[in-house]
Structure 1
Amino acid sequence: MLFVGDDWAEDHHDVEVQDETGRRLARARLPEGVTGMARLHALLAEHLPGDAEPSQVVVGIETDRGPWVGALVAAGYQVFAVNPMQVARYRERHSTSGAKSDTGDARTLADLVRTDRHRHRPVAGDSDTAEAVKILARVHQTLIWDRQRQVLRLRAALREFFPAAIAAFDDLHAGEALELLGRAPDPARAARLSRSQIAAALRRAGRRNIDQRAEAIQQVLRAEQLPQPAAVQAAYAATVQAAVALIAALNSQIRALEGEVSESFHQHPDAEIYLSQPGLGTVLAARVLAEFGDDSDRYRDARSRKNYAGNSPITRQSGKKLVVLARYARNDRLADALHRQAFCALRASAGARAYYDELRSRGTGHHAALRQLANRLTGILHGCIKTGTRYDETTAWAHRTQPAAA
């Protein structure tokens, strides 16, 4: 067996090769790309017997994505993606001086996979379809987060000189709000908007009760408010127009990417199983599939999947003190998707609603109850995937309803 520690950077990799006793066999700095990968293969070949298998090489690296990691997995090596925090703690296990270097980190990674690889998870062998869904779903979610940041900045600017706009539009990234604010970004121009102009914007945005809404918006925009100096108002108006243009562009790209996410997700063989789960639509199901992956060997059991999801609690015990806490070291994208699924499942599943109500009756808070419901739904999803069956309401919750009926 050979053990390789790979401390990666943007343009190079510091690697150290060890044998089973921890003796250093080689150390090198390799460039990123094809040339560096070829040199790594040649370096390992110098220390492996001719009949050795690629699986006899174990690699530790602090990332699980990118072409370099893909090439390592394709070569047949055992690749372990180690969390940088775990590497830092392992470094402190052997040294308290605080010294750190790239070559030292490569040695730490090699030592870690040589002695403690049974404590870590190898890089998942997800399919190309799942990887494509992951890329698209993550970019789609990132654009939504970026839009929310821009909306909050727009709201902060409006609050400083045009608070009537905040009162007039419930949703600042809606089509009518962006159109009217782009046309009238300050109180003076907004007050001159006619009811027909407002109604036309509402109609193009697909709203209902257009006449009533147009009248209400016009009244709010024409109400008196404390003014800002003309120069300050002009500066804020330019800020609003820039923010409106950014949010409109993000809206367009989010809609386009949503179609790409849906198309890619429906090509996956497990798509129907995910869509059968209560509370999961196409976008949320794509996010859950993307973050869980589809490697059949990645999760030993439902508990392993729940722990990765971050919804199962953690216990801290010392002496007579025992505390059960929520798990915050987790995949935030997956946790967000499962939390939303749990909330939507309250209407989609009678069993989920009964379980949530039971938790609430015990005094559990809303978010804690949703977290526990998400944990239960994750276990149900795991069973459906392992057996290749769609969700069934009776099967999923019969073990809770039968004792109550008896």
Structure 2
Amino acid sequence: MRKRLDSDAEEPEEIWFAGVDWGSQLHQVRVSDRCGRSLGDRGFAHGGEGLAELAAWILQKTGASPDAVHIAIEVPHGPVVESLMERGFQLYSINPKQLDRFRDRFSPSGSKDDSRDALVLADSLRTDRRSFRALRAVDPLVVELREWSRIAEELGQDQLRLANRIQNQLWRYFPQLLELSDGTIEPWLLALWQLAPIPGKAARLRESTIARLLKNHRIRRVSAADIIQALRAPAIPMAPGAVESAVAHIKILIGQIEPIRRQIKQANAQLEARLEHFLSKEETAEGQQVEQRDVTILRSLPGVGKIVLATLLAEASDALRRRDYHALRCLSGVAPVTKRSGKSRQVLMRRAVLVRLRNAIYYWSRIAVRLDPRSRARYEALRANGHNYSRALRGVADRLLRVACTMLERQTTFDPNTVLRSASGQAPSASIA
């Protein structure tokens, strides 16, 4: 016999609940029935054997099929989640901050242990399932795309750290080189340093040698004559051995940064290949044009490049599939947090976000302001109202997310001359507090 709940989803009449307090070495699990009566509480070692034993123990305690067991866990990813989802259990995740509030119902004193947390997870899922996020199996291609986008981001952060260290060493003894760039350590600048790692040698470089280096790196914003003039500026007096030590330090850093730059190129190539595969794999309805596919629609938006597109698809695939504008603006930090109490009212920036998605949306809105007249007009209006740079960009991002969801609903690509309206008939709104 089956019944229909408020969510309009069918499920077995008899259902069971479990809470998993995961750990690096031991996972604590508690199982209860729909009335909250405990069926068992046990810990399992992390590993293939332990996770298989965990799943078998839950099935043995409940005597039910996996789809009748609802399991709560704090994280929406990882080996525990993947192992249980693979076996067909119904999984839900909850934010650790929310779990901390639920814990107060069971322990007003604030005491905490793994067994109690498993109890809190299981019982809170039983009574407040709407507060948990149901987890669904993710397309393997999305998993790969997510991993490569994260790899590319992490490599970029590693490159930035090394570049900052090189910049610090150049600032110590050779600041003339830093005047030639816009604050970044570029490959052509490192090639110039390798030709002349100390100011005395740099002052003797020929203009033709520098011109050839600039041509090889396709640099046109600075001329060989300008570089010669900068390199022949008076050097900073240094204590004996200081220049030599700085040069040795930079050589080591260059040896680390060059492989990372090659790896970033490889990661970007992998991202591009998977985006193309994603596009070719998308199934369309009969008679639907290629331009109507989701990836093509998102690509058509101003400011959406390879990195932004990959991050949107990898970090917010479920919200995009549901065309859920409100979920997107919350996950990306565009939606504010309003706190009201009596006459008091505070509007704060949202901090509980997907950081990678927030960074991608921020970058997207920054580029859109340059490319899209309507985004630019929205930005200027917010700045004129006294909002700061970041707040104005969040306003632009809010409009872009609404436009993206409306385009996905209508399956139309971006047209700067069209004012899209959502299914409710409302024009894209960009007002946020």
Task: Please report the TM-score for the alignment, with normalisation by the length of structure 2.
Answer: 0.84
Contact 2:407 2:420 survives alignment (8 Å): no
Which residue of 165, 174, 191 corresponds with 2:186? 174
Contact 2:173 2:235 survives alignment (8 Å): no
Matches of 1:53 and 1:395 in 2, distance apart?
A: 51
Q: Which structure has greater helix proportion?
A: 1
Q: Which amino acid aligns with 2:260?
A: L
1:391 corresponds to 2:422: no
1:54 corresponds to 2:66: yes
**Alignment partner, residue 332 of structure 1:** 355
1:55, CA displacement in angstroms? Answer: 2.5
1:202, CA displacement in angstroms? Answer: 1.7
| Residues 1:199 and 1:296: Cα distance change in structure 2 (over 3 Å) | closer
Contact 1:91 1:108 survives alignment (8 Å): yes
Q: Secondary structure at the match of 2:188?
A: helix
1:295, CA displacement in angstroms? Answer: 6.4
Which residue of 121, 141, 144 corresponds with 2:133? 121
Matches of 2:319 and 2:419 in 1, distance apart?
A: 23
1:264 corresponds to 2:287: no
Matches of 2:372 and 2:204 in 1, distance apart?
A: 49
Matches of 1:131 and 1:159 in 2, distance apart?
A: 42
Which residue of 13, 23, 29 corresponds with 2:37? 23
Q: Which amino acid aligns with 2:236?
A: L
**Alignment partner, residue 281 of structure 1:** 305
Q: Secondary structure at the match of 1:100?
A: coil
Contact 2:319 2:328 survives alignment (8 Å): no
1:372 corresponds to 2:395: yes
Q: Which amino acid aligns with 2:308?
A: L
Task: Please report the TM-score for the alignment, with normalisation by the length of structure 1.
Answer: 0.89
Q: Which fold has the larger relative contact order, with Cα–Cα distance below 8 Å and residues 6 or more apart in sequence?
A: 1
Q: Which amino acid aligns with 2:335?
A: S
Q: RMSD of the alignment, in Å?
A: 2.4
Contact 1:8 1:14 survives alignment (8 Å): yes
1:308, CA displacement in angstroms? Answer: 1.8
List per-residue Cα deviations over 1:245-302 (Å, max 9, x = no partner). Answer: 22222211111111110110122233212101121012221112111114677x5732
**Alignment partner, residue 12 of structure 1:** 26
How much identity, in percent, do the aligned residues show?
32
Matches of 1:379 and 1:274 in 2, distance apart?
A: 12
1:397, CA displacement in angstroms? Answer: 5.4
| Residues 1:191 and 1:100: Cα distance change in structure 2 (over 3 Å) | farther
**Alignment partner, residue 404 of structure 1:** none
1:3 corresponds to 2:17: yes
Matches of 2:120 and 2:398 in 1, distance apart?
A: 35
List per-residue Cα deviations over 1:178-220 (Å, max 9, x = no partner). Answer: 21223433333433433333223222212126xx622212221
Worse overlay, 83-92 or 35-44 = 83-92
Q: How does 1:246-257 map to 2 (within 5 A)?
A: 246-257=256-267
Q: Secondary structure at the match of 1:59?
A: strand
Contact 2:378 2:395 survives alignment (8 Å): no
**Alignment partner, residue 341 of structure 1:** 364
**Alignment partner, residue 233 of structure 2:** 223
Worse overlay, 222-231 or 96-105 = 96-105
Matches of 2:368 and 2:310 in 1, distance apart?
A: 16
